[in-house]
Amino acid sequence: DQQVKQNSPSLSVQEGRISILNCDYTNSMFDYFLWYKKYPAEGPTFLISISSIKDKNEDGRFTVFLNKSAKHLSLHIVPSQPGDSAVYFCAASAIWRGAQKLVFGQGTRLTINP
């Protein structure tokens, strides 16, 4: 039962254009959402997050949008740069036995073409 889904395994975008990565979730108990970026042979690194009480969070070229009624979030990268080429994981947080437990999506491989 995949509680967090990224339905696009891959995405290819021209340099300078906007990249939009999507994520859907099923559990309404999730209260915080995060995006991680992963390069090959490295661990994931935190990119941006959003609380369930907000609908938008912006950090430089990265913006995350949350639509709670649709249980959908998206990551916008603008303008896209070659260094953005990586796998992006969406994650949702729930507290379980006092620990924050993250549930991850399958990942989307983003390729930025020069």
Q: What are the CB-based long-range contacts (under 8 Å, 24+) for 26-30?
A: 26/1, 26/2, 26/71, 27/3, 27/92, 27/94, 27/103, 28/71, 29/94, 30/3, 30/92, 30/93, 30/94, 30/103
State the binding string over 88-107 for another protein (x if CB under 8 A, else -).
-x-x-x--xxxxxxxxxxxx
Does 45 interact with another protein (rule: CB under 8 A)? yes
Using the contact rule CB under 8 A, the part of the chain among 13-21, 37-45, 54-62, 72-80 near another protein is 37-45
Determine which residue in the list 8, 11, 22, 32 makes contact with another protein, applying CB under 8 A. 32
Count of C-beta atoms within a 10 Å radius of residue 89: 22
Determine which residue in the list 34, 73, 75, 86 makes contact with another protein, applying CB under 8 A. 34
**Residue 101 CB, nearest approach to another protein (Å):** 7
Does 8 interact with another protein (rule: CB under 8 A)? no
